[in-house]
Structure 1
Amino acid sequence: MVRICFVCLGNICRSPTAESLMKSLIHGAHLDDQIEVD
């Protein structure tokens, strides 16, 4: 299992946005069981 964590200095907008986008891309590629995003 691959784990991905997005971090920015304020963690107000960029990290949650990047996390949401990556989760959407992973789901679209049917890789939910192989990649976890924190």
Structure 2
Amino acid sequence: MSNTLNHTSSRQIVRHYTHRQKRCKHLMQYFVSANGLLEL
């Protein structure tokens, strides 16, 4: 395996993971605010 190929794929995985993490965080905030509105 070439080192450059491995490095590129790992960078893509990290970018994809961080993107998913941001989306999950956004969804969590949305659900929390929705629950707050329902409780009020």
TM-score of the pair, normalised by structure 2: 0.47
Decide which structure has greater helix share: 2
Decide which structure has greater strand share: 1
TM-score of the pair, normalised by structure 1: 0.49
For the pair shown, which has the larger CA radius of gyration, 1 or 2?
2
Structure with the bigger RCO (C-alpha within 8 Å, sep 6+) is: 1
